Structure formats: C-alpha cells, structure tokens
C-alpha cells in the first residue's frame, strides 16, 4: 500500500465516523508565539482545545505536517524518527471519549478494509492509574493482559492547563528486530522491535496553579499517528526511509553522488539525513521560512548546512540539494500542492543558500590554513579550542572538519576547549530563553531562539539532543 493511500484511508475512515477533515495547517504557527514550529496534529487546533473557539463540528481529523527539531540526532540512526513528518490525527472537542477512540483505533488498524494489521502483533501501553482505558483494551477489545503495559510516562502534562493520561499503540515487528526476553524490546524501551505508531491522549484534567488536578467539564481527545511508521510496516521494510515516501529521494541522491544504498553504513546514514533534511527545508521554505540567523530561519540554515556536510561525506562537493526539491514534490504534491506550486522558488532559495555555504566553507578553510601557519611559526602543534569554536560558530565549520584538516597538517585540536566554548554558548542561549516549562523539547543549539515553547510531543521530555554535529 502506498503512503498516499494510507493517508486517504485515514481521512475517509474518520470522515465515515462523523469527523470534519481539516487540511494541514502551515508549519509556521499562526497566532501562537508559544511554538516555533507546528510539531503535532493538535498544535494548530489549540484554540478549540482550550475553548477559545468553538468548532462547527466537534469531531476533526487531519494529516498535519510537523517539524520536531528535538529528534535531529535520531535521524538516520533510528528507523522511525524524522525532523519533518506527517502526523495523522483525530480529535474530539468535548464529544466522544475513551471508549470510542479506542474502539475506532482498533478497527482502523486491524480491519482488512482499512490497515489490516494482524491483531496479534499489537500491544498497548496505558497509564497505571487509568483503569478505564485498561478495561476497554482488555474487556472490550479483548487484548490479553500481557500485551497491555502500564507505564508511568503515559501522562501528558505541560504544567498548568489541560492534561491527562494517554495510551499508545505499538506494532511488534518480530524476532528479526530484537529478542522478546530483553525488556529494552518491550514498548517504551530503546529497541524498535515494538514500533510506536499511535498515541491517544485523553485530556480529562486541569492541572491547577496550586498543583492539584481537577476533572475538566469538557473532556477532549487528541491523537497522533505517524504516517511514515504505518507505511514502513505496511510496506514491510526496515525503516521509514525505505518506504515510497523517501526512496525516490535516496535513489536520486545515490545517482548524484555515485554511491549505492545499503552497501556502506556511513553512507546510509548520510543518505537518510539528506532525504530527511531536504523534506524539512523544502516544506519550511514553501511555508515562507527563509534561511537566516535567528528563529525558524536559523533552524533551516543549520539543517541545510548539515545536509551539505553529509553530502560531502558522500563525495558531493557542489550544490545539489536543490535538485531534490522536484523529487519531494513528486512524492508529496498529491496532498501538499504547495511544494509543487512553489518549486522554483524553493529551489532558488536552497541553491543560493548552498552556494553561500560552500563559499563559507572555503573561507573557513582559508582561515584554518592561516591558523595552522601561525601556530607552526610559534612552534605549536595544537589548534586552540576557542579558534575551533569560532570556525564552527561563525563559519559553520564542523569540529570534525577542523580536526581532519589539522591532522593532515600534523596538528591536534583542543577538544576540551572546544566543548567548553560550546557549553558556554549553550548556557548563554539557555539564559536568554524565557522559562519554558518542562515541555520545551525544541531547545538546544539548533533552535537558539527566545520564543516560548510548549506542547511539543506528548511524552517526550528530552531537552537536549539537538546538537548539530
Ligand atoms: P517516539 O517515542 O517514537 O519518539 P513520541 O512518543 O515522541 O515518539 P508522540 O509525541 O506520541 O511521539 O507523537 C505521536 C506519533 O507521531 C508517534 O506515535 C509517532 O507515530 C509519530 N512521531 C512522533 N515523532 C516523530 C518523528 N520525529 N518522526 C516520525 N514520526 C514521529
Ligand atoms: Mg508517543
Ligand atoms: Mg514515545
Ligand atoms: Mg519522541
């Protein structure tokens, strides 16, 4: 089944259950200074959830483009993470609640008319105190107790405001992906044998200022399922990257670089990172974000530069990312016409930025050559950490490039000094950010911005990990 068909099935299924289909909103939040990017299907619908706006239909479904920079280090390493992905969602604004959402999720996933997963491969997690959810899974759906895992993390809470337990659905990909005796293989563990596909959030409490929780008069449902993950299972491939959503981009990059996929592990990571980042950048530029030195533009600039550097590891030394935009359009244009309609503009922006970065890299190289020359004259054999950091910070010159060049010249680089300078900069950025609450997962050097950020993923509390190599 093609990814586009899965998306259509999702929308048709929830339409048949009385939902209004909303088109994907822009990646750039509208009237919401608390978020840098739309990072979940619910994010553009917040005004319905907090009661500021009453929807004409309390049941809504969508396929929403999302950006999550906190997952950048996972890209290419895990089978399931992207910086840009599509979240399929269904929502109830004070309408249906746990029983319906669980019943429909099961129907959609297991009925051969829709997704048709083997029911024996599905497990779920619930919040330990959420006996209601447990009962629906166990008694109504008939899931045996050993396939219902109780996890303390299954509580979605961003501090003050609506919050509540959630239940997540995992697909067991089988022995090939890990040993069942290893707890890391169980849902919630590090292993990806059980692939998290869908999160159902029951927002039923208000987290009050004084720390207490009281039931909400209007209970809401907010769910999110990753299209790329469903697709990887249905296409029976190793990772999200091996699906029809990514393969044409990887194949084109292979042609450009003259390499082959699945021959060299480092090349594969590079191919995946490039395929990931070009989607993010193409869509963000399509939504009006231009590379710059702050906020969203800075994220885009860093992602592009990261992709260029990974391109270099494949031996590509010329601007090439812009050539992938038409491939992205070919894959995604059916549902997101903006990447096709604005193709020329997106290509031009990316090309210009790539060219600039190549120049910057040569400027950085000239500076580095100069540093080496002076150090040699002074009888030293090491490049200072501050200098290496300046190359990184001002010229986008990654530490490993500095190190490679230095070692060719018989020099070392002061790694500890570089790390200390990096930490100091991070500290400055942290201090500059406002108090953002526990759910600010978009922080880190990639997103060195001052906007407040909240509701970024349901249970992912990681703050760090957005370091650009
Ligand atoms: P994970 O634990 O795998 O990082 P998550 O718990 O952070 O996922 P949620 O915040 O629950 O994810 O988001 C709902 C769904 O969106 C997930 O179940 C998954 O299918 C999908 N999803 C989340 N993050 C990503 C990502 N970075 N790339 C692709 N799909 C994602
Ligand atoms: Mg989750
Ligand atoms: Mg998770
Ligand atoms: Mg996550």
Q: What is the pLDDT of residues 11-23, one digit of tens each?
A: 999 999 999 999 9
Alpha-carbon gap, residue 315 to 60, rounded angstroms: 47
The string of pLDDT tens digits covering residues 62-74 is 999 999 999 999 9
pLDDT for the residue numbered 445: 34
CATH assignment, 3-234? 3.30.930.10
Nearest alpha carbon to residue 106 among 193, 378, 98, 383? 98
Mean local confidence (pLDDT), 396-415: 85
pLDDT band of residue 453 (cuts 50, 70, 90) is very low
CB 459 near ligand 1, within 6 Å: yes
Nearest alpha carbon to residue 349 among 307, 314, 315, 304? 304
pLDDT for the residue numbered 51: 82
The string of pLDDT tens digits covering residues 149-166 is 999 999 998 777 789 999
| Ligand 1 atom closest to the CA of 457, numbered from 1 | 10
Residue with CA nearest ligand 1 atom 29? 81
CB 196 near ligand 1, within 6 Å: yes
Nearest alpha carbon to residue 401 among 360, 356, 354? 360
Residue with CA nearest ligand 1 atom 20? 226
Radius of gyration of the chain (CA): 23
- CB neighbour class for 263 (10 Å; exposed up to 12, middle 13-18, buried from 19): exposed
Helix, strand, coil % (nearest 5) of the chain? 45, 15, 35
Lowest-confidence range among 156-160, 315-319, 347-351? 156-160
Mean local confidence (pLDDT), 126-141: 98
Count CA atoms within 13 Å of residue 170 on its CB side: 22
Distance 302 CA to ligand 4 centre (A): 21
The string of pLDDT tens digits covering residues 253-274 is 999 999 999 999 999 999 999 9
Q: Which residue has the higher pLDDT, 421 or 159?
A: 421
Mean local confidence (pLDDT), 281-293: 96
Residue with CA nearest ligand 1 atom 10? 457
Distance 153 CA to ligand 2 centre (A): 10
Mean local confidence (pLDDT), 416-436: 82
- Is it the case that residue 37 has pLDDT exceeding 80? yes
Residue with CA nearest ligand 1 atom 26? 81
| Number of other residues whose CB lies within 10 A of the CB of residue 208 | 11
* C-alpha separations of 6 from 124, 228, 336 in Å: 21, 10, 15
Residue extents of the structural domains in the chain: 3-234, 246-352
pLDDT band of residue 442 (cuts 50, 70, 90) is very low
Q: Which residue has the higher pLDDT, 363 or 125?
A: 125
Distance 133 CA to ligand 2 centre (A): 16
pLDDT for the residue numbered 185: 84
- Is it the case that residue 444 has pLDDT exceeding 50? no
pLDDT band of residue 433 (cuts 50, 70, 90) is low
| Ligand 1 atom closest to the CA of 81, numbered from 1 | 28
In three-state secondary structure terms, 142 is: coil
- Is it the case that residue 199 has pLDDT exceeding 90? yes
Contact 154, 129 (CB under 8 A): no
pLDDT band of residue 434 (cuts 50, 70, 90) is low
Percent of the chain with pLDDT over 70: 92
| Ligand 1 atom closest to the CA of 68, numbered from 1 | 27
Q: Which two tokens stand for residue 123?
A: 């497990």
Percent of the chain with pLDDT over 90: 74
CB 224 near ligand 1, within 6 Å: yes
Distance 218 CA to ligand 2 centre (A): 23
């Amino acid at each position: 089944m093609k990814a586009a068909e899965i998306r259509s099935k999702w929308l048709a299924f929830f339409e048949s259950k009385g939902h209004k289909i909303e088109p994907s909103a822009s990646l750039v939040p509208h009237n919401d200074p608390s978020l840098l990017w739309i990072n979940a299907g619910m994010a553009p619908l917040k005004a319905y959830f907090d009661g500021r706006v009453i929807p004409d239909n309390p049941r809504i479904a969508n396929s929403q483009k999302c950006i999550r920079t906190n997952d950048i280090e996972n890209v290419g390493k895990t089978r399931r993470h992207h910086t840009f992905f599509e979240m399929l969602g269904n929502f109830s604004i004070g309408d249906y609640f746990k029983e319906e959402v669980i019943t429909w999720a099961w129907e959609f996933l297991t009925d051969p008319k829709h997704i048709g997963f083997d029911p024996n491969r599905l497990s779920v997690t619930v919040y330990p105190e959420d006996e209601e959810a447990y009962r629906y899974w166990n008694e109504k759906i008939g899931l045996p107790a050993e396939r219902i895992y109780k996890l303390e993390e299954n509580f979605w809470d961003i501090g003050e405001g609506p919050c509540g337990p959630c239940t997540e659905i995992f697909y067991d990909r089988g022995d090939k992906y890990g040993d069942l005796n290893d707890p890391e293989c169980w849902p919630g563990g590090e292993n990806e044998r059980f692939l998290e596909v869908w999160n159902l959030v029951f927002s039923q409490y208000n987290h009050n200022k004084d720390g207490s929780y009281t039931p909400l008069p209007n209970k809401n449902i907010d769910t999110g399922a990753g299209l790329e993950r469903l697709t990887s299972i249905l296409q029976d491939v190793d990772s999200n990257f091996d699906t029809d959503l990514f393969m044409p981009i990887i194949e084109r990059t292979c042609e450009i670089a003259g390499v082959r996929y699945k021959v060299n592990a480092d090349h594969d990571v590079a191919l995946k990172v490039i395929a990931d980042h070009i989607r993010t950048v193409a869509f963000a530029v399509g939504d009006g974000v231009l590379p710059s030195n702050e906020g969203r533009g800075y994220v885009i600039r860093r992602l592009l530069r990261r992709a260029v550097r990974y391109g270099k590891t494949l031996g590509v030394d010329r601007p090439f990312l812009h050539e992938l935009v038409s491939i992205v359009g070919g894959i995604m244009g059916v549902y997101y016409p903006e990447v096709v309609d604005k193709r020329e503009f997106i290509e031009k922006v990316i090309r210009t930025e790539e060219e600039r970065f190549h120049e910057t890299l040569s400027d950085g190289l000239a500076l580095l050559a100069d540093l080496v020359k002076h150090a040699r004259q002074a009888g030293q054999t090491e490049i200072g950490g501050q200098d290496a950091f300046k190359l990184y910070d001002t010229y986008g010159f990654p530490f490993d490039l500095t190190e490679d060049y230095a070692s060719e010249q018989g020099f070392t680089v002061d790694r500890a000094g570089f790390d200390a300078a990096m930490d100091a900069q991070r500290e400055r950025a942290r201090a500059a950010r406002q108090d953002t609450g526990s759910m600010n997962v978009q922080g880190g050097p990639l997103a060195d911005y001052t906007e407040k950020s909240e509701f970024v993923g349901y249970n992912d509390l990681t703050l760090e990990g957005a370091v650009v190599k």
